[in-house]
């Protein structure tokens, strides 16, 4: 079963999933590996991220203990070989990538976009990173609209129709975006500087995009966790660990159907982060 952890709770089956909030950087990797493990005869998973440097740096800084210990083992390498990673640097590059992906080896195009088989899972990482720098630096003068984000996701869904084969089964989509709740974009473009028109009201992108997904997983710091007097004496240990929870919502739900809790803390042996589940 697919999971966001090296060991621990599994996700419900999904065809479309949003993961938002303070998820650990290795969560998409664990999802890809655990998904591949369900297919003993092999499958294909695509991971698409805006920046290789940002992705690698986040993984290094988080320092997942399991990945440090198992990344070079035969089974992990076998599962990782089922994964193809792309780093389109802009929304236009991402849209072009998905328009070119194919399993047809007869097509004359970039060999990097020819897949050996239809993917069973596509993982999109941090789409907000394409937009937030402009939104922060020029809140009322950037070129992006709500449709800019929505269209990217819709293009990915649309590409599944051309990639899917009757015998291959459906393609699942997982969108990881830690800043999704932060991103707000106008419905129409902001007016050009020098005009008397008022800037368009920015809308919460998460509110609209979540309607297209059947499940949403929200990572949060666990505010319900309290330190007991005896624990309070172990300040150094408490400062080094973090208490988190994940809430699972299915489409249309206002209350989570599941809530899971765990603690992240450094391993005594390697110093990497380990996950201690309740």
Going from the N-terminus, what domains does the chain have, and what CATH number goes with each?
16-277 (3.40.50)
C-alpha–C-alpha distance, residues 256 and 192, integer Å = 42
153 or 71: which carries more pLDDT confidence? 153
Average pLDDT, the chain: 89
Residue, of 236 and 143, whose pLDDT is higher = 143
- pTM assigned to the model: 0.91
CB 191 within 8 A of CB 132: no
Residue 37, judged by CB atoms within 10 A of its CB (0-12, 13-18, 19+), counts as: middle
- Cβ 258 vs Cβ 247: under 8 Å: yes
Cα gap 113→123, rounded to integer Å:
16
* Chain segment 147-195, per-residue pLDDT in tens: 999 999 999 999 998 888 777 788 999 999 999 999 999 998 877 666 6
Q: Give residue 241's pLDDT.
A: 82
Residues 219-274: tens digit of each pLDDT? 999 876 544 455 454 544 445 588 999 999 999 899 999 999 999 999 866 779 99
With CA atoms as reference, report the closest residue to 84 among 56, 33, 45. Answer: 45
Q: 200 pLDDT exceeds 70?
A: yes
Binning pLDDT at 50, 70 and 90, where does residue 146 land?
A: very high
| Phi/psi-derived region of residue 235, left when phi > 0, alpha when psi is between -120 and 50, beta in every other case | alpha
Strands (E), the chain: 16-21, 45-48, 83-86, 121-125, 172-177, 184-186, 202-204, 215-221, 242-250, 258-266, 273-277
Nearest CA-CA partner of 145 in 216, 212, 193, 208: 208
Determine phi and psi for 52, rounding to 5 degrees.
-65, -45
- What pLDDT was estimated at residue 194? 63
Buried b (16+ CB within 10 A) or exposed e, 112-148: ebebeebbbbbbbbbbbbbbbeebeeeeeebebbbeb
Q: pLDDT (tens digit, 9 = 90+) per residue, 14-58?
A: 999 999 999 999 999 999 999 999 988 889 999 999 999 999 999
Question: Cα–chain-centroid distance for residue 185?
Answer: 20
């Amino acid at each position: 079963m697919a999971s966001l952890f090296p060991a621990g709770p599994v996700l419900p089956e999904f065809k479309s999933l949003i993961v938002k909030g303070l998820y650990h950087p290795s969560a998409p990797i664990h999802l890809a590996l655990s998904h591949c493990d369900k297919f003993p005869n092999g499958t294909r998973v695509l991971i698409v991220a805006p920046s290789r440097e940002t992705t690698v740096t986040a993984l290094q800084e988080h320092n997942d203990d399991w990945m440090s210990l198992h990344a070079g083992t035969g089974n992990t390498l076998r599962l990782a070989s089922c994964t193809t990673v792309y780093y389109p640097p802009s929304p236009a590059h991402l849209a072009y990538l998905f328009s070119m992906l194919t399993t047809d080896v007869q097509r004359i195009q970039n060999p990097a976009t020819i897949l050996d088989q239809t993917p069973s899972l596509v993982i999109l990482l941090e789409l907000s990173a394409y937009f937030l720098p402009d939104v922060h630096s020029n809140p009322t003068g950037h070129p992006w609209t709500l449709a800019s984000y929505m269209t990217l996701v819709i293009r990915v869904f649309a590409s599944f129709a051309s990639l899917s084969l009757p015998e291959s089964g459906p393609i699942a989509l997982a969108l990881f975006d830690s800043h999704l709740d932060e991103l707000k974009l106008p419905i129409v473009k902001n007016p050009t500087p020098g005009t008397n028109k008022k800037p368009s009201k920015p809308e919460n992108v998460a509110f609209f995009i979540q309607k297209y997904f059947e499940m949403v997983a929200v990572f949060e710091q666990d505010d319900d966790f309290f330190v007991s007097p005896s624990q309070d004496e172990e300040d150094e240990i408490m400062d080094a660990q973090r208490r988190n929870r994940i809430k699972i919502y299915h489409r249309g739900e206002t209350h989570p159907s599941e809530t899971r809790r765990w603690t992240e803390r450094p391993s005594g042996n390697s110093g990497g982060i380990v996950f201690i589940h309740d």
